[in-house]
Amino acid sequence: MGSGKTTAIQALCTEVGRDRRVLYLTYSKLLKADAQRRVKHAKVQNYHGIVYPSLVRAGIKCGLDESIRRFNAAFTSLSASFPRFDLLVVDEYQDINEEYAQLLRHIKSLNPSMQTVLVGDLAQKVHSNTTLDVQRFAREITRQAELMPFTQSFRVGRELGALLGEAWNKPVVGVNPAQTLRYVSYSEALEFMSAKKPGDLLCLGRRNGQMAEALNHLERKHGEVFNKETVYASIRDGDTSVTYGDDTAVFTTFDSSKGLERPASVVFDYDEAMWDMRCGFPGVDKTVMRNVFLVAASRGKHEVVFVRSEQAHRQPKSIGFIPVQRFTQLPDDEQPEYEKPFLASECFDFTYAENLQACVDLLDRRRLDDGAGQEINIDRVDGLIDLSPVVGHYQEAVFFDRYNPALEVMLNPKPIAKQLRVKLSEDPWHNSLLLTAVDTDQMRYAEQVTRKVSVDVRDGLTRRLATQLPRDCAAQVPMQLSGTAVASPAATAISFVGVADAVHDGQVFELKFVSELDNAMFLQLALYLVMGGHRTGVLWNTRTDERWAVQVPDRERFMHAVVLCVTKQRYQAFRTAPHQPEPGGRSGAGAMFPMRLGGPR
């Protein structure tokens, strides 16, 4: 909130770090990079980074997703070589999970007298991904802790500070006289943005909507200033392979705004319709959602510009176009119902880490390759444009006879698809760029990417895929699983849908082209196995040729765990709809798991 905590941390680390060992921990690569620029006289790392050297020295091979868990499990043998510290600074402590908490316990056990400083604010908790009671853990790891509340905000002015304080029910004293609040139309916002330097601009809102339209407008009409070298536009929340500096304009979501600051922020979709929609998502934590919205409103140091939508109306006491009372009178939690199906590719993204791991523990995973695969190098960044989704489309388009990104563009009803149809060609890479533009609503994929894929890369990909799959196998296979989520005495319909990359010889193949396979990818494949009634699947990182055979030994137990995970513990069991057959031919009320291929309906 611009309260001066980073300045305080800098002063603390500078003073203590002259003659004592200081460890500064944060939870993401982006926050680590920012802290490394600002905080001196301390070892600055994220949680995965601090444990990985110990695992490498011990010969323990694992992915990033598994690294902290493996370190915690092997801590007794690893502790002798792990560095000791005199001061531990934990940034954004409110967002740690149980694995991180156990790691911090281990670090402190090596020097019980180590001073511990927890930096953060529970009112700014913007993640709901753990069952850990953070307040209880804070009391556990500290002794005779002294609270040092920072109530002044050097980023926000008096007006916004008072509104945020009321919305959060805590003191927020805005002391920045330079900050102004403005409420403008979409056309006025475009004029305002076009007059800014890229490094002065932060834009927040839904990725698909007015913010994407504004990005496209700026890059088309003012391309000499706003382009792939000066603008970063996110396509997913969380870490990214793209790195950018303070001279870059940033377009991203409310959820990713924490830690960002620019002289001017332009906030789209900050209205009651957006608030109601986000709070209406099944299982959403209303308190965390309030924090996400309030953090997003406070990112502009000099100017905060709220863009008026058609349905937005200003009321006397509002933040943006949302009355403060909407934040102070949060809607009651109700047992959610799931009208829309869960997407297999996304449903594990925003779950409790502990429940996610419980699902993974129910899988049978076996490494198939020898680890000696040669890496296929494709540029996944062009300027500040993330090409990862393009590569995903391309590797399938260049190999499978039954997958054509041009057809995907032709059949897509979105207006941007209609604009791009005239640009389709015979080149799979070009068409994959157009399809990504349709998926993201960002015309930069169609108009600014100049990266090409060499013949050597194309041939390397096709040769690698051909080692396991024929070109004419079933590709982009739609799948669906329907049933009931149960929480005694409540129950609700629930369904899962997805599209498996390939099915061949009774196996489901899920293809990735990534730096590292993660747990959600294994679970996506496992869900396809349950959906399709297949015994074995293969998760394949075609970039490195890493391949894993995956099975679900106990599908009933697995689906109970999946429902518990994706509903964030609101439902505990999964049962099929009555009279639908399960594998082996049984049917009837209460039977488990209808295995049915077929498109989402």
User: What's the one-letter identity of residue 123?
Assistant: A
How far apart (Å, rounded) are the C-alpha atoms in residues 186 and 183?
Answer: 10
Residue 444: predicted pLDDT:
98
Environment class of 550 (CB within 10 Å of its CB; exposed 0-12, middle 13-18, buried 19+): buried
CB 401: neighbour CB atoms within 10 A? 10
93 Cβ neighbours under 8 A, 6+ residues apart: 118, 119, 120, 134, 138
Higher-confidence residue of 8 and 551: namely 551
For residues 544-557, give the mean pLDDT.
Answer: 97
How far apart (Å, rounded) are the C-alpha atoms in residues 506 and 473?
Answer: 11
Task: pLDDT band for 577, please (50, 70, 90 cuts).
Answer: low
pLDDT value at 117 more than 60: yes
148 Cβ neighbours under 8 A, 6+ residues apart: none
Residue 587: predicted pLDDT:
31
Q: Tell me yes or no: is domain 3-140 CATH 3.40.50.300.
A: yes
pLDDT value at 584 more than 50: no
Whole-angstrom Cα Rg for the chain: 25
Q: Are 110 and 21 in contact (CB under 8 A)?
A: no
How far apart (Å, rounded) are the C-alpha atoms in residues 322 and 325?
Answer: 8
For residues 588-593, give the mean pLDDT.
Answer: 36
Residue 588: predicted pLDDT:
32
pLDDT value at 579 more than 60: no
3-state secondary structure of 416: helix
Comparing 3-140 with 150-326, is the CATH topology the same?
yes
For 70, the token pair is: 């493996």
pLDDT value at 191 more than 60: yes
How far apart (Å, rounded) are the C-alpha atoms in residues 33 and 113?
Answer: 29
pLDDT value at 122 more than 90: no
pLDDT value at 126 more than 70: yes
Kindly report each contact of residues 323-331 with a partner whose C-beta sits within 8 Å and lies 24 or more positions away, as own/partner.
323/272, 324/163, 324/166, 324/167, 326/272, 326/275, 327/167, 327/168, 327/290, 327/293, 327/294, 328/166, 328/167, 328/169, 330/279, 330/286, 330/287, 330/290, 331/279, 331/286
For residues 1-9, give the mean pLDDT.
Answer: 74
pLDDT value at 27 more than 90: no
How far apart (Å, rounded) are the C-alpha atoms in residues 164 and 158?
Answer: 10
Beta bridge partners, 180, equal 303
For 384, the token pair is: 């500040």
Q: CA angle 256-351-514, nearest 5°?
A: 65
Q: What is the mean pLDDT of the chain?
A: 90
pLDDT value at 403 more than 70: yes
Residue 578: predicted pLDDT:
62
Task: Give how far Cα 163 sits from Cα of 73, 296, 321, Å.
Answer: 46, 14, 12
Task: pLDDT band for 589, please (50, 70, 90 cuts).
Answer: very low
Residue 243: predicted pLDDT:
85
Q: Where are the domains of the chain?
A: 3-140, 150-326, 340-367+472-574, 379-451
The model's pLDDT over 454-483, given as tens digits with 9 standing for 90+, comes to 999 999 999 999 999 999 999 999 999 999
**Max Cα separation, the chain?**
72
Residue 599: predicted pLDDT:
34
Beta bridge partners, 204, equal 252, 267
How far apart (Å, rounded) are the C-alpha atoms in residues 179 and 160?
Answer: 9
The region of weakest confidence among 136-150, 169-183, 378-392, 403-417 is 136-150
pLDDT value at 249 more than 60: yes
Fold of 150-326: Rossmann fold (3.40.50)
CB 32: neighbour CB atoms within 10 A? 21
Residues in the chain: 601
For residues 261-269, give the mean pLDDT.
Answer: 97
For residues 245-271, give the mean pLDDT.
Answer: 94
How far apart (Å, rounded) are the C-alpha atoms in residues 87 and 115?
Answer: 5
For 510, the token pair is: 């899920």
The model's pLDDT over 415-448, given as tens digits with 9 standing for 90+, comes to 999 999 999 999 999 999 999 999 999 999 999 9
Task: pLDDT band for 131, please (50, 70, 90 cuts).
Answer: confident
For 431, the token pair is: 């068409």
The helix-helix angle for 5-16 and 29-38 (nearest 10°) equals 60
The model's pLDDT over 292-316, given as tens digits with 9 standing for 90+, comes to 999 999 999 999 999 998 878 888 8
Residue 595: predicted pLDDT:
34
Environment class of 246 (CB within 10 Å of its CB; exposed 0-12, middle 13-18, buried 19+): exposed
How far apart (Å, rounded) are the C-alpha atoms in residues 170 and 153?
Answer: 12
Closest by CA to 345, choosing from 113, 524, 212, is: 524
Environment class of 469 (CB within 10 Å of its CB; exposed 0-12, middle 13-18, buried 19+): buried
For residues 477-498, give the mean pLDDT.
Answer: 94
Phi/psi at 102 (nearest 5 deg)? -65, -40
Structure-token match 């069991």, residue found: 573
Task: pLDDT band for 26, please (50, 70, 90 cuts).
Answer: confident
> pTM (2 decimals)?
0.87
Side-chain-side CA neighbours of residue 288 (13 Å): 16
The region of weakest confidence among 13-22, 47-56, 522-531 is 13-22
How far apart (Å, rounded) are the C-alpha atoms in residues 165 and 172?
Answer: 5
Q: Are 412 and 579 in contact (CB under 8 A)?
A: no
CB 447: neighbour CB atoms within 10 A? 17
Residue 62: predicted pLDDT:
87
Higher-confidence residue of 426 and 33: namely 426
CB 42: neighbour CB atoms within 10 A? 23
Residue 601: predicted pLDDT:
27
Side-chain-side CA neighbours of residue 247 (13 Å): 5
How far apart (Å, rounded) are the C-alpha atoms in residues 42 and 417?
Answer: 50
Q: Residue 29 CA to chain centroid, in angstroms?
A: 13
Helix (H) or strand (E) holding 498: strand 490-504
pLDDT value at 67 more than 50: yes
